[in-house]
Structure 1
């Protein structure tokens, strides 16, 4: 065991010295640079000591309504590998699911049990092309916006946040109580440091009155219909505004 520890220490030092040779980043502006701890020697050490990591010290999570066809999670009711930035440390290849009803991040413990992370300790998590970042009401965002996770859909000079929610409801079918989870999305555009709630094309255009014609053209050129493709349309309009307003 002593020899194993010494070998690991040497390999860790070697990996730290080579840090920075491999890097990647997400288009939404949050760096996904590969940190030293994801290199093979350190990951090997982490695997051996994973039970003591803060990431796996949360409380158990019960997957409610697991027999229902609909579910409370973002996109699918199954584990997907993602990245979690927790208590100032990044963890890669974490099996996770995001409960939209409770706005809570669930990860899979090493023993297979679902486990709940403390939301206030999660800076952001990334999965399947979506970056969910935690914002505090009245501090990072306006007081009218709730504290919680927001999908950072576009991040430039301006910004588009989407608050994704589900609400648990019930209906009776053949004398059985069936749970279902309708989903809603709320869109916020940051312009000049202030977040503005938008939903219709008119409300988006009202934020950029000097570029109305160009923004409408941008949607036509890409054949984006606003109502059925609301999120894509808003993101396109915000990105187009940033390009046009660039000095």
Structure 2
């Protein structure tokens, strides 16, 4: 099928090459045919399009069920699905239902991805991976040699005076040695690495740490995760 597509395209190119000013150099025909095909046609490949058809929940800017607020636009993403990569996929992550949706590139139909087949999803918001023990995905905010710091988000629908809104919850977890530990604040690292308490406390008091702490809680916890990742491999 791929070779037939390539041959058809070559015929069309030869017919219209002068009128549309195409150059055969643009098609890199000496490269790997599978890579050439995947680069241009993966977003309409059949595998991700076989999921359940879905309809999106009622939404408006700043009040929606999705991970990214303040916009109704679909995120452009690359996904590894059933160990095959697809680029330029339009995707939304519904954190109320804990489902990932993609938009069919041809008819714009909304399709639910099969979580069991998702390896990862790379978006402008970061890289999402499916949870092993529950429905939904987590966002990787730091990935080290020995540990990762991830964010799990959820929303619940709140209706008051016939108006709907969403209450959002974001929780951070440390993934290490196949264990999942909730990270609430800087003290969580002291509990997780008791043999390095003095070193961690000293690091927290450094000028660099104090400056990053002023940037916000999440930035500071990422900063500590990077430090503790180095501790764990010493």
- The TM-score range, normalised by the shorter chain, is 0.7 to 0.9
> What do you get for the CA RMSD once the two structures are aligned?
2.9
Aligned to 1:119: 115
Tell me if 1:85 matches 2:80. yes
Aligned partner of 2:139 among 151, 160, 163:
151
Aligned to 1:26: none
Aligned residues: 209
Distance 2:46 2:129 in 1: 22
Aligned to 1:75: 68
Aligned partner of 2:193 among 198, 203, 208:
208
Residue aligned with 2:73, SS? coil
Aligned partner of 2:212 among 181, 206, 224:
224
| Larger proportion of helix | 2
Structure 1 residues 82 and 14: CA distance shift in structure 2, 3 A = same
Note the alpha carbon deviations across 1:20-79, whole angstroms, 9 max, x for none.
xxxxxxxxxxxxxxxx53x4x5444557xx3x6111222322121224750111113311
Aligned to 2:102: 107
Distance 2:178 2:103 in 1: 37
Residue aligned with 2:31, SS? helix
- Find the structure with the greater CA-based Rg: 2
Segments of structure 2 that go 5 or more residues without pairing to the other structure are 11-26
Aligned to 1:16: 32
Residue aligned with 1:62, SS? coil
Residue aligned with 1:94, SS? strand
Aligned partners of 1:55 and 1:86 also within 8 Å? yes
Structure 1 residues 229 and 219: CA distance shift in structure 2, 3 A = farther
Tell me if 1:165 matches 2:154. yes
Structure 1 residues 216 and 93: CA distance shift in structure 2, 3 A = farther
TM-score with structure 1 length normalisation? 0.72
Aligned partners of 1:219 and 1:233 also within 8 Å? no
Aligned to 1:64: 57
Structure 1 residues 154 and 71: CA distance shift in structure 2, 3 A = same
Aligned to 1:190: 175
Structure 1 residues 106 and 160: CA distance shift in structure 2, 3 A = same
TM-score with structure 2 length normalisation? 0.76
Aligned partners of 2:42 and 2:85 also within 8 Å? no
